[in-house]
Chain A
Amino acid sequence: MGRRLNAELWDKMHYLFRDFNDRMVHLELHYDFEINLETLKTVLICFFEKAPVLHSRFVDNKVSPYWEVMPYRIEDVITVKHSDNVTEDIDRFLTQYIPPERDLQMKVGVFYYEGKTALCMVENHMCMDGGDFKYFIRSFCKAYSEYEEKGISPINLREGTRSYDSVYTDFSKTQEKMARNLYRNVCAKDTHKFPLTESKEGDRSFIARRRISEETFLKLKTVGKAHGATVNDMLVAAYFYSLYELAGYGEDESVTISCAIDLRRHMKDDEGQGVTNHTAFMQCNIPRRGRNIFETLQYVINSSNLFKKDKFMGLYGLPLLKFAYKILPHSASEEIIKIGYSNPLLAMSNIGILDHKALALGGNEPIDGFMTGAVKYKPYVLLSATSMRNVITLSMCVRGNEDDKKIVNTFFDIFERSIEKLLAE
C-alpha cells in the first residue's frame, strides 16, 4: 500500500461537488516556439514529487477518505501531438474528465503546430484551486527556464500543509477564536437560473469563450475608476445586466451571483503551504436590475463594498463544515452537508491575471492563454475570467448540447453589448 495523504476539508468538499460539476480546472497557453519536451518532462516529474497529491488516487473510505500516493510514468501524464487541427485537439484534451480514483490527477498536453506549441493542463480541483494553479504554472515556467538556461534543478515548489485552517494563521488569538466560531450557513438561496436546456443523454462538455480586446479592457479600467469600480465590478455588472435580458427576469427581481474569492487574502505569508484549495464564495446581490447598466453597477459596488469591509470575508461556514466532517463518518457527513448546502445556480470566478512575463519558457513569453474552471452540469453555470496582455478571456464550461452552445454564445453577445453600454458614457 502506498503512502497516504490526508484528505483535507476542501478536498472532500470538491469531491462532494461531483454532483454539480466535473471538478476539472483547465489551462491553455500558446508559445511561439517548440517547447523542449525533455526539459518539460524533467520539470513536471520534479513538481509531481513536490506535490504528491497530483499522483495520488482518492480513496472514498466511508468513514475517513484519504489520498494514496501511487507510482506513475511521465508518459501517462503527457500527451504529445504534432497537430493538423490544433483547435480540435486542444478542445478534446481540455474537455477530458479525470476520475479521482485514478492514479494521476493532472494531465498535460503538448501540441506542436506551425513552429508553435500549445501547452495545456487539466487538473483535479480537489488538488488545487485557480489561485494555486496560477502559482503552480508560474513556478513551473520559472523552473523550466532555469533548468534549460542554467542547469538549475527544478525543485522549487512550495511544500507543506494543505489544511483549510491555514487561513487563520495570521490572525491574532482573539480574531482566530472569533473566526473559528463563525458557525453560519452562507449558501446562496436564489433560484434564478441561466436559461439552458434540460439535461439529456448526449450532452457533452464544451468550453465556450469570448475575448474582450485590450482596447476595451483599458477603457473599462478608466471608466471603472471614474465610477469607483474595479474591473471585476464592471464585469459582474455586465453579467447581471446581460442575465436579466437573456433569461427574462423581471426588472424588479432581486438576483444573486456567487463570486469566488481567494481566502489567501487572509494569509500574509505562504511559507510552509502546499498547493491546495482556499476558495469560498461571496454572494453578490442586487435588489433589481436598475434603470440602466450604471445603476446595476452601483448596486454591484454597494454589495461588493459590504464584503470588503468584513475582515472575515469568506470564512463563514468553514467551522460548520469542519464540525460536520469531524463528528460524523464521511458518508454520513456528506449527506448532512448536502441537506444544508445549496450549490449556486449562477456563479463567477475572476481568476485574474496570467502574467505573460512570469509564464515565459526559456525567454519565450506566451502569446496567448487562459484558465477556466470546472465544467458545470446543468442548471449550474460559472463564468470564468482571466486576462493576459490586457486581453480578457471570458469562458463558460457546460455539459450540454448544440442548443446550449448557442445560448451561451448569445449570452456572450449580450455581454459584449452590455460592456459597450458601460463604455458609452
Chain B
Amino acid sequence: MTFTDYAENELKKLPNTKSAYLYKQEVIARMTARANELVESGLTDNKVINELIINEFSDIEKEYYERLKKKKKAAKTKNKSSLIALGIVGYVLLLVGAFLGVSFATGAWDKTWLIIVVGILGAVIAGLAGGCFALFAKKKKMAVFALLIVIPAIAALAYVVLGLIGLLAWHPGWLIIVASVFVDFIIIVGRLVISSKKEVEDEKWEDD
C-alpha cells in the first residue's frame, strides 16, 4: 500500500474541504520524508519501511480533528485577546476623558488626578478579583491564594482613596488593612480545618 492510498483510506471520512485536502497532502509528505530518513539510516526492506511508518501514522484522522480543535481554540483566544485589548484602550480613553471633563468643569486639578489613580488601581484589583472568582468557579487550589492577595489589596486601595478624599481618617483608618490581614488569617485557619477533616475522612475510608 502506498502512503497516498493509506492516507486516502484513513482520511476518507474527512469533509471535502480545503483544510482537509491540505492536511492529507501534508501527511503524505511527512510519511515520505520519514521513509527517506529510514533509508538514510540504513533500512533497505521496503515492506518494513512501509509498515513502520504506517504504524507511526496510525492516528491521522484523530490528529486532524485535534488540530481543528486547536485552531478553533486559538482563533477564539485571538478574538478574546483583541476584545480585551480594545476594552483596555476604551477604558483608558474613558478614564482620561472623565479626568479631563471633571477637571475642566470643576477646576479641582489637585484632586481630580485621583480619577486616573483610582481608575487604574481599581481596574487591576477588579482583574485580580475576577481571576480569583474564575479560579473558585473552576475549583482550583490557587483560588484561596488569590483571595488572600485580593482582600488586603482592596483594603489598602480603599484606605488610600478614602483617606485622600477625606472620608476616612488616616488614623485609625489604617486598621482597615489590619482587619483585612485578620480576615486572611481566618480564611487560612478555616482551610486548614477543612483539609484536616478531609484527611481524617480519607484515613477512615482507608481503614474501612
Contact in complex: B41, A73 (CB < 8 Å)? yes
Contact among A46, A48, A74, A75 with B48 in the assembled complex (CB-CB below 8 Å): A46
Contact among A74, A75, A155 with B52 in the assembled complex (CB-CB below 8 Å): A155
Asked if B26 lies at the interface with its beta carbon under 8 angstroms from chain A, I say no
Q: In whole Å, how far is A38's beta carbon from the nearest beta carbon of chain B?
A: 8
Inter-chain CA distance A349–B118, complex, in Å, is 67
Judge if A71 is at the interface, Cβ distance under 8 Å.
yes
Known: A46-B48, A154-B48. A73 touches B40 (CB 8 A): yes
The answer to whether B52 and A72 touch across the interface, beta carbons within 8 angstroms, is no
Q: How far is the CA of A173 from the CA of B67 in the complex (A)?
A: 32
Give complex CA distance A38, B45 in Å.
10
Q: Are A155 and B40 in contact (CB under 8 A)?
A: no
The interface residues of chain A lying within 8 Å CB-to-CB of B44 are: 38, 42
Structural contact, A153 and B47, CB atoms closer than 8 A: yes
What per-residue 1/0 map shows which CB atoms of B21-42 lie under 8 Å from chain A? 0000000000000000110111
Give residues 315-332 of A contacting B (CB, 8 Å): none
With known contacts A174-B202, A174-B205, A174-B206, A45–B38 Cβ distance under 8 A: yes
At the interface, yes or no: A177 with Cβ under 8 Å from chain B?
yes
Interface size of B by CB at 8 A reads 17
A72 to B39, CA, bound (A): 11
Provide the residues of chain B in CB contact with A154, threshold 8 Å: 48
Bound together, the chains give a CA A177 to CA B205 distance in angstroms of 13
A101 within 8 A of B: no
| B34 closest partner in A (C-beta) | A49
Q: Of A71, A153, A177, which contacts B40 at CB under 8 A? A: A71
B55 proximal to A (CB < 8 A):
yes
Say yes or no: is B51 at the interface (Cβ < 8 Å to chain A): yes
Q: Is the CB of B40 within 8 A of A49?
A: no
Given A49-B52, A71-B37, A153-B48; A41-B42 close (CB under 8 Å): yes
Q: Is A42 touching B202 in the complex (CB atoms < 8 A)?
A: no
**A73 lies within 8 A of B52 (CB):** no
Q: Hey, which chain A residues are within 8 Å of B41, CB to CB? A: 45, 48, 71-74
B43 contacts A by Cβ under 8 Å: yes
How long is the Cα–Cα vector from A48 to B41 in the complex, in angstroms? 10
Chain A residues within an 8 Å CB radius of B205: 174
Do A74 and B42 contact each other (CB < 8 Å), given the known contacts A174-B202, A174-B205, A174-B206?
Answer: yes
Chain A contacts with B in 403-423, Cβ cutoff 8 A: none
Give the interface centre of A42, A72, A147 by most chain B CB atoms within 10 Å: A42
Known: A71-B37, A174-B202, A174-B206. A155 touches B45 (CB 8 A): no
A75 CB contacts on chain B under 8 angstroms: 42
Which of A73, A147, A153, A177 is B42 in contact with, Cβ under 8 Å? A73
**Which positions 175-208 of chain B face chain A at CB distance < 8 Å?**
202, 205-206
Complex contacts, A151 vs chain B, CB 8 Å: 47
Q: Could you tell me the distance in whole angstroms from the C-beta of A139 to the nearest C-beta in chain B?
A: 15
Provided the pairs A153-B47, A177-B202 are in contact, do residues A46 and B52 lie with their beta carbons within 8 angstroms? yes
Q: How far is the CA of A186 from the CA of B135 in the complex (A)?
A: 37
**Which of B42, B51, B202 is the one whose CB lies under 8 Å from A155?**
B51
Cross-interface CB contact of B51 among A45, A71, A153, A177, cutoff 8 Å:
A153
Q: How far is the CB of B188 from chain A (nearest CB, A)?
A: 20
Main secondary structure of the interface of A (DSSP, over half): helix
How long is the Cα–Cα vector from A38 to B43 in the complex, in angstroms?
Answer: 9
A72 to B40, CA, bound (A): 8
Chain A positions 138-190 with a Cβ under 8 Å from a chain B Cβ: 147, 151, 153-155, 174, 177
Most A CB within 10 A of own CB, among B37, B40, B44, B45: B45
Residues of B within 8 A of A177 (CB): 202
Give per-residue flags for A45-78: 1 if the beta carbon is below 8 A from chain B beta carbons, else 0.
1101100000000000000000000011111000
> Which residues in B have their C-beta under 8 angstroms from that of A74?
41-43
Q: Which residues of A contact B47 (CB under 8 A)?
A: 151, 153
- From 19 to 49 in chain A, residues with beta carbon under 8 angstroms from any chain B beta carbon are 38, 41-42, 45-46, 48-49
Shortest distance in angstroms between B21's beta carbon and chain A's nearest beta carbon? 26
* A46 to B45 CA separation, bound complex (whole angstroms): 11
Cα–Cα distance between A174 and B205 once the two chains are bound (Å): 9
Chain A residues near B45 (CB, 8 Å)? 42, 153
Contact A45 B42 (CB under 8 A): yes
- Closest chain-B Cβ to A53's Cβ sits at a distance in Å of 15
Q: Which residues of B contact A42 (CB under 8 A)?
A: 43-45, 48
> Which of chain B's residues have a CB closer than 8 A to the CB of A38?
44
| Complex: A75 Cα to B44 Cα, angstroms | 13
User: A42 to B43, alpha carbons, bound, how many Å?
Assistant: 6
Highest count of chain A CB atoms <10 Å: which of B42, B47, B52: B42
Taken together as a complex, chains A and B put the C-alpha atoms of A49 and B43 apart, in Å, by: 11
Report whether B202 and A49 are in contact in the complex, using a CB–CB cutoff of 8 Å: no
In the bound complex, CA of A73 to CA of B41 (Å): 4
Would you mind naming 28 contact pairs between A and B with Cβ atoms under 8 Å apart? A41-B42, A41-B43, A42-B43, A42-B45, A45-B38, A45-B42, A46-B43, A46-B48, A48-B41, A49-B38, A49-B52, A49-B56, A71-B37, A72-B41, A73-B40, A73-B42, A74-B42, A75-B42, A151-B47, A153-B45, A153-B48, A153-B51, A153-B52, A155-B51, A155-B52, A155-B55, A174-B206, A177-B202
Other 4 A-B pairs with CB < 8 A, given A151-B47, A153-B45: A45-B38, A45-B41, A147-B48, A174-B205
Task: Write the residues of chain B forming the contact surface with A, with a CB cutoff of 8 angstroms.
Answer: 37-38, 40-45, 47-48, 51-52, 55-56, 202, 205-206
A interface with B by C-beta (< 8 Å): 38, 41-42, 45-46, 48-49, 71-75, 147, 151, 153-155, 174, 177
